[in-house]
Amino acid sequence: MLKVVLFDLDGTLVEQEHAAAQAAVEWAAAYGVTGPEVAARWAAVSQLHYPRYQRRELTFAEQRRARVREFLGLHADDAELDAIFGEYLWRYEAGWRLFDDAVPAVRRVRAAGLQAVIFTNGNSAHQQQKIDRFGLTAEVDRFISAEDLPAGKPDPRAFQQALSLLDIEPDQALMVGDSLTNDVHGALAAGLGAVLLARSGQHADVGVRRIASLDELVW
C-alpha cells in the first residue's frame, strides 16, 4: 500500500532551467562572453561538474569554482572564483519560479492520506532556500537532501536511506521527477514506483510511466 510520494525539486516543483540560462547570458556578457551558444555552453559545463559534486568527488563550493574556471578560462584563487560565481548566483536565484501545478499536486497527495516528501540531490541549504521562498515547507511533510545521505540519486543507497528515514518499504513509495536517470531509473532499480515528469514532451519512447504535468499525477 502506497504511503509516500517523493517529489524531486528542480524541474519538478521549481522551474530553474530557464533561470539558469538567462542568468548565464547576462553574467557572461559582463565578462565579454556573448553569442547564441552561451546558455548551452554554461549548461554543458554545469552538467559536467555538478554531477561530480553529487558523486562526492567535489564539494558544493568546488564544483561552482570548477564551472567558473572552465567556462571563463580563468586561473584565479578560490576567493575570486567564489565572488565571480556570486555574480551569476544572484541572477539565477532571482529567476526561480514555482510551477503552477506544484502545490495543487502536493495537496492532492496529502488529501489522499499520503505523505508528500521533497527528495532532491541539491545542496541542503540552497534547496531549503527555494522551499522557504515558495512556502513549500508548510505544504510537505518532509524535506530530504541526498547531500546528507551516503550517496545521491540514482545510487540505490540514496533511495534506501531516504526510505529508512521515512520508515517505509520500497513498494510503499512513489518517486516523481523530471530526470529519467536520477529519479526514474534510480527509483525503479531500488524497488520504488516511479513517474517521469516530461514537461517538454521529452523521452516519448521510454517504457516508463510518464506525465506532461503534475496535474496528471495519479497513484
The model's pTM is 0.94
Look up cell 525539486; give the residue: 9
d(CA 199, CA 18): 13
Instruction: Please write the tens of the pLDDT for every residue from 84-110.
Output: 999 999 999 999 999 999 999 999 999
- Cβ 54 vs Cβ 121: under 8 Å: yes
pLDDT of residue 65 exceeding 90: yes
The structural domains of the chain, with segments of one domain joined by +, span 4-15+98-216, 17-94
For residue 194, the model assigns a pLDDT of 98
What are the two backbone dihedrals, phi and then psi, of residue 130, each rounded to the nearest 5 degrees?
-65, -45
Instruction: Please write the tens of the pLDDT for every residue from 138-163.
Output: 999 999 999 999 899 999 999 999 99
CA 85, 129, 15, 46 torsion-angle sign: positive
pLDDT class of 71 with cuts at 50, 70, 90: very high
The DSSP bridge partners found for residue 7 are 118, 176
Report H helices in the chain: 17-29, 38-54, 60-72, 78-94, 102-111, 124-133, 156-166, 186-189
* Span 169-189, average pLDDT: 97
What is the secondary structure of 44-59 as a DSSP string?
A: HHHHHHHHHHHTTSS-
- Side-chain-side CA neighbours of 172 within 13 Å: the count stands at 15
Q: How far is CA 152 from the centre of its chain?
A: 11
pLDDT of residue 205 exceeding 90: no
CATH number of 4-15+98-216: 3.40.50.1000
What are the two backbone dihedrals, phi and then psi, of residue 98, each rounded to the nearest 5 degrees?
-85, 130
